[in-house]
């Protein structure tokens, strides 16, 4: 019979220290031993007659408890907590189903339960969230809570001082009056606080303060909600720019004045056109070559989109000069470049009325090439801004565009837009080397030149003349057209 040498007391203590397990109840330990001695076979009786040393039973009990603990850990799952104070753009994983891209100045902490339920406490800053479908996911701020199940959205908890990216003509007052702004890129969220809630879908924006219910608003629309919010929340009245001597109030008034002057200018151009038409109808004549008539027409055509009596695709030189003066850039696009899915075969040919199978196939190849190149550029820019790989691969072009554009220096974007307008008027040469361009310029040119890029790709296969002919059919590519204007400067550009 082999002698059994029991371990020393120090070895037992080392084993007990190495395995941290919960203390078993008296009933549990008794049950284990009772079960052991309840067996009626000979082996059990032999063991009972010659009991093993105490350390063997301690080891057996510890093993049972260890296995129970491991089963609880692996089957029950574990929760965890973490926090972040971002001094630069930071991308962090929030468990297995969410990613956050935090801008500098962001403070947040989060907890993720074993079932995936997640709570984010965001006390400051601006964060882009990408959340896969699953259990409840809440972003809690001092002003309100954002609840989602799966989406891409941004939570912007505004500081007391106005941030540059929110200063937009027509939205300044609204932005100043809000404490929290939520922008939804994909999916949907619920924005709520103690005063109420609002459902936000893809493309929606919502704002809320801690003293009033959330509302849906247009960040590029008017500021009609400002007074309402300020009246409901006296504390926000100061941030809304109603205090005498507040420089932000002065900026808000200037923004409204700019909008009013632009509206008056557009109305005057339309009125001039109406008066000219009346003169001609009554038998009079208006010299279209007179400086006054040419200037009035140029102003009208510079701001006119497709469908009016001014050429959209090929404006005359007077109109181009007026567009340069007001930093106006017109864009025609087939509208597929930032869609979640690439263009389907035959779609472009059908829009252009092309029935030749060979031409239809080449048009589809050109559209697919532009779609891939456009989205590759967006992904590169998104990653350059600190975005995560998963979102870069899965998110639609619209989502990436929205995220990228919200990080840009708007003043620099305006300067670049003016340069593009001046290039189109022949007042300056386009840049030859684009490798060293700032991100703002690469984004602006990618969007502004989407129509030209498709014409170039079509021209590679069908020839330049045919490409131009197809683009002229609808006074620009069929799909969408847009007019982007900046501030008009006095005198010649």
364 lies in the same domain as 336: yes
367 lies in the same domain as 450: yes
Question: Considering the domain boundaries, does residue 489 fall inside one?
Answer: no
d(CA 385, CA 388): 9
Question: Considering the domain boundaries, does residue 315 fall inside one?
Answer: no
Q: What pLDDT is recorded for position 480?
A: 80
Cα–Cα distances (Å) from 147 to 141, 153, 187, 421, in that order, read: 11, 11, 12, 43
Number of domains in the chain: 4
106 lies in the same domain as 199: yes
49 lies in the same domain as 146: no
Question: Considering the domain boundaries, does residue 317 fall inside one?
Answer: no
d(CA 321, CA 278): 27
Q: What pLDDT is recorded for position 313?
A: 94
84 lies in the same domain as 65: no
Q: What pLDDT is recorded for position 204?
A: 87
Q: What pLDDT is recorded for position 247?
A: 59
Question: Considering the domain boundaries, does residue 106 fall inside one?
Answer: yes
d(CA 395, CA 279): 55
347 lies in the same domain as 459: yes
466 lies in the same domain as 372: yes
| Cβ neighbour number for residue 400 with a 10 Å cutoff | 25
335 lies in the same domain as 385: yes
Helix (H) or strand (E) holding 11: helix 9-18
Round to the nearest angstrom and report the end-to-end CA distance of the chain: 107
Q: What pLDDT is recorded for position 292?
A: 66
Domain endpoint, select from 59, 76, 93: 76
Q: What pLDDT is recorded for position 51?
A: 53
Low-confidence ranges of the chain (pLDDT < 50): 1-5, 7-12, 14-16, 18-21, 24, 26, 28-30, 32-50, 68, 70-76, 160-178, 222-245, 492-493
Segments forming the whole domain that contains residue 159: 80-243
Question: Considering the domain boundaries, does residue 324 fall inside one?
Answer: no
Positive or negative: CA dihedral 353, 359, 360, 362: negative
31 lies in the same domain as 108: no
Domain endpoint, select from 30, 58, 76: 76
Q: What pLDDT is recorded for position 134?
A: 87
pLDDT in tens, 447-492: 999 999 999 999 999 999 999 999 999 999 988 888 998 888 875 4
Q: What pLDDT is recorded for position 406?
A: 86
107 lies in the same domain as 71: no
25 lies in the same domain as 106: no
d(CA 50, CA 37): 13
Q: What pLDDT is recorded for position 251?
A: 65
């Amino acid at each position: 019979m082999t002698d059994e040498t029991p371990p020393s007391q120090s070895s037992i203590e080392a084993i007990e220290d190495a395995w941290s397990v919960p203390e078993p109840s008296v009933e549990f330990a008794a049950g284990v031993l009772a079960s052991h001695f309840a067996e009626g076979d000979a082996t059990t009786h032999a063991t009972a007659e010659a009991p093993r040393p105490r350390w063997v039973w301690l080891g057996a009990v510890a093993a049972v408890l260890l296995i129970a603990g491991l089963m609880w850990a692996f089957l029950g799952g574990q929760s965890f907590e973490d926090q972040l104070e971002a001094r630069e753009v930071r991308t962090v994983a929030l468990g297995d189903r969410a990613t956050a891209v935090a801008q500098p100045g962001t403070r947040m902490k989060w907890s993720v339960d074993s079932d995936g339920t997640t709570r984010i406490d965001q006390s400051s800053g601006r964060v882009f969230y990408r959340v896969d479908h699953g259990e409840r996911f809440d972003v809690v701020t001092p002003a309100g809570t954002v609840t989602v199940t799966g989406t891409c959205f941004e939570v912007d908890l505004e500081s007391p001082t106005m941030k540059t990216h929110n200063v937009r003509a027509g939205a300044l007052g609204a932005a100043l009056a809000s404490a929290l702004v939520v922008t939804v890129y994909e999916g949907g969220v619920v924005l709520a606080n103690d005063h109420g809630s609002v459902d936000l879908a893809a493309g929606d924006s919502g704002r809320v303060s801690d003293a009033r219910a959330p509302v849906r608003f247009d960040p590029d629309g008017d500021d009609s909600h400002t007074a309402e919010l300020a009246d409901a929340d006296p504390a926000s009245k100061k941030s809304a720019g109603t205090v005498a001597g507040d420089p932000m109030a002065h900026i808000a008034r200037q923004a409204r004045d700019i909008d009013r002057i632009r509206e008056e200018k557009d109305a005057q151009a339309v009125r001039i056109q109406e008066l000219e038409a009346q003169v001609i109808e009554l038998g009079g004549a208006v010299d279209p070559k007179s400086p006054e008539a040419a200037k009035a027409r140029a102003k009208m055509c510079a701001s006119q989109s497709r469908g009016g009596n001014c050429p959209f695709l090929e404006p005359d030189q007077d109109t181009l000069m007026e567009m340069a003066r007001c930093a106006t850039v017109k864009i025609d696009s087939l509208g597929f470049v930032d869609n979640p899915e690439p263009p389907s075969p035959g779609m472009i040919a059908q829009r252009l009325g092309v029935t030749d199978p060979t031409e239809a196939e080449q048009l589809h190849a050109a559209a697919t090439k532009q779609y891939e190149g456009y989205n590759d550029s967006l992904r590169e820019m998104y990653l350059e801004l600190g975005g995560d790989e998963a979102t870069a691969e899965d998110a639609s072009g619209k989502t990436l565009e929205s995220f990228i554009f919200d990080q840009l220096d708007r003043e620099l974007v305006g300067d670049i837009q003016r340069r593009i307008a001046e290039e189109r008027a022949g007042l300056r040469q386009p840049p030859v080397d684009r490798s060293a361009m700032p991100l703002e310029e690469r984004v602006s040119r990618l969007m502004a030149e989407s129509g030209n890029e498709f014409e170039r790709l079509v021209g590679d296969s069908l020839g330049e003349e045919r490409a131009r002919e197809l683009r002229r059919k609808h006074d620009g590519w069929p799909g969408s057209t847009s007019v982007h204007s900046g501030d008009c400067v006095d005198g010649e550009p």
